[in-house]
Amino acid sequence: MRILNKYYAFKDKSRNLRNSEFKLLGNINFNNKNYPLFRIDINSKIKNPSLCFSAAIHGNESSGVSGILKWLENNNISRKINYRLYPITNPYGYHFFRRTNHKRINLNREFKKENPEKEIKLIKTDLRNKLFNIFISFHENSTKDKEDFYIYSYPNKNSIDFSKYILRNISNNVIIDERKIIDGYKAKNGLIIDDMESSFEFYMGDNNAKVSICVEIPSKISIKQRTDIAKDIIILTEKFYL
């Protein structure tokens, strides 16, 4: 079972890390099968800097999952940073490699609703009273040849400046999307100022993070390249503070 393979991979890795906590937030049940939604905390006693990473809210966008796991497996995790990881935000969608959950709902449009899907309720409850310096949601854009790497930034100065830092320093490994219109939004040098208030990154910018961005990794390149880009973004984020 695809989701359980990754669930146990993350759980086993968490057990081998110092100052790490693995927590099952709940199960998404469908057709008498459970799809676990979990998170990992590392160095939770450290208050600042604090980083939060999310992946696979669209289940067919898997490079964030593999990138986070590869970063964990490299064993170069700083002991001076507080980390929270939501590696598979849409466990059913990830298992079946589909964008939506079992109800065919796009979970990244649920965060502003008063009664969102169970996955989002669990995450919002888990985030209560938490504040992070930086939140990054890992996504992949479509397979269209014209789409390269770009970022959605929460509309505050800190998020925009951090997005530009990532775009400057990741550019040796990827092609930055230079289109002026991306996904129907105005863009400049691969940067879109986000106005999707129902998204995870916008919710975090409003409530739980000083900096909040969504990175769009091009899915037209190989999964190995995509995985390495996600891992490199985490390392760049650490370097921002170290």
Q: Residue 69: which domain range?
A: 2-239
pLDDT confidence bin for 1, thresholds 50/70/90? low
- Mention every residue, 6+ apart, whose C-beta is less than 8 A from residue 141: 147, 150, 183, 216, 217, 218, 219
- Which pLDDT does position 145 carry in this prediction? 73
What is the DSSP track for 108-122? Answer: GG-TT-SS--HHHHH
Q: Which pTM value belongs to this model?
A: 0.96
| Measured distance CA(16)–CA(132) in Å, rounded | 24
DSSP three-state, residue 82: strand
- Strand pairing class (209-217; 132-140): parallel
pLDDT confidence bin for 188, thresholds 50/70/90? very high
How many domains, in total, are found in the chain? 1
Q: Measured on CA atoms in the order 118, 215, 69, 80, is the torsion positive or negative?
A: negative
Q: List pLDDT tens digits, range 23-39.
A: 999 999 999 999 999 99
Give mean pLDDT, residues 183-208.
Answer: 94
| Measured distance CA(118)–CA(120) in Å, rounded | 5
Q: List pLDDT tens digits, range 163-175.
A: 999 999 997 779 9
CATH code, domain carrying 183: 3.40.630.10
Q: Is the pLDDT assigned to residue 195 strictly greater than 80?
A: yes
